Amino acid sequence: MDNSEALSACGPFSSAERDAVYRAIYTRRDVRSQFSPEPVPDEVLARILLAGHHAPSVGFMQPWNFLVLRSQETRRKVQALFREANEEAAALFPADRQGAYRALKLEGIVEAPVNLCITCDPDRAGPVVLGRTHDKAMDSYSTVCAVQNIWLAARAEGVGVGWVSIIDPLELRALLGIPERVIPVAYLCLGYVHEAYVRPELEVKGWRKRLPAEEVLNFEGWGQTTADEPLLTLMQQGMEGGLARPSPS
Ligand SMILES: Cc1cc2c(cc1C)N(C[C@H](O)[C@H](O)[C@H](O)COP(=O)(O)O)c1[nH]c(=O)[nH]c(=O)c1N2
């Protein structure tokens, strides 16, 4: 088979290009409280959404829709859903964590100039989807890949993104007129940010820390780790000081 038309050169990135990719990954933050009201121009939003639309997806089904929400009125209604859900969530934490939970700012729905609701349509490619037969969640996982592309592209554009999941999905679906079969996967707040946390805000505020490499790296099966594995040592070195850094070019 002649693939000459379908294939193109897939050369290595220059070290500057590679570093830029890692910079986007390591400096991407979940943003809640540093949004500037400055609007995000359509050209910028279009690039960010196109990055989302180029995510991998099971059977290339592209199950996502990107709902762009700019109206204050709609966003205030979503914020009311957040407040209701957040009260319910706060009450579930142990008494000694409730104060810390309530002190966290967990959304920027109205401060951010634009919000996105990213949905997953399980019927996008018919009832049988290549790769989804044995795990129906693959379409939602694909939608999350689109979210991550958006999050990283936004970082490269200087646009902060905050994911708000403290919302009842059934109420959100009703509010936005989303059909019953379609799953609201992610609710995102977007806006320019001129300052952002170096580490996750939840870490800075003492809620949780990034796990050490030995807790997340296993060899040859679940729970198997080896203290003197060079790969583990390299990951640990990369995380020294609590920050991951790309190795020098
Ligand atoms: C699926 C999902 C859902 C949520 C989040 C993330 C993801 C992946 N995060 C953001 C989360 O708190 C954040 O990613 C971690 O604390 C790590 O911080 P950085 O993203 O690295 O800054 C998040 N943050 C928040 O303030 N309110 C929220 O409701 C949620 N929900």
HSE, side-chain direction, 13 A CA sphere, residue 191: 25
- Residues 88-128: pLDDT tens digits? 999 999 999 999 999 999 999 999 999 999 999 999 999 99
Ligand 1 pocket by C-beta < 6 Å: which residues?
Answer: 29-30, 32, 106-107, 162-166, 200, 202
Query: How far is it, in rounded angstroms, from Cα 184 to Cα 176?
Result: 10
User: Rounded to two decimals, what is the model's pTM?
Assistant: 0.95
Radius of gyration, CA atoms only, the chain? 20
Complex ipTM tops 0.90: yes
Q: What would the pLDDT profile of 29-87 be if each residue is shown by its tens digit?
A: 999 998 999 999 999 999 999 999 999 999 999 999 999 999 999 999 999 999 999 99
Phi/psi of residue 116, nearest 5 degrees: -130, 135
Is 249's pLDDT higher than 50? Answer: no
For residue 32, the ligand 1 atom closest to its alpha carbon is 26
Distance 161 CA to ligand 1 centre (A): 10
Could you tell me what percentage of the chain is helix, strand and coil, using 3-state DSSP and rounding each to the nearest 5?
A: 40, 10, 45
Cα–Cα distances (Å) from 42 to 45, 48, 50, 177, 191, in that order, read 5, 10, 12, 24, 12
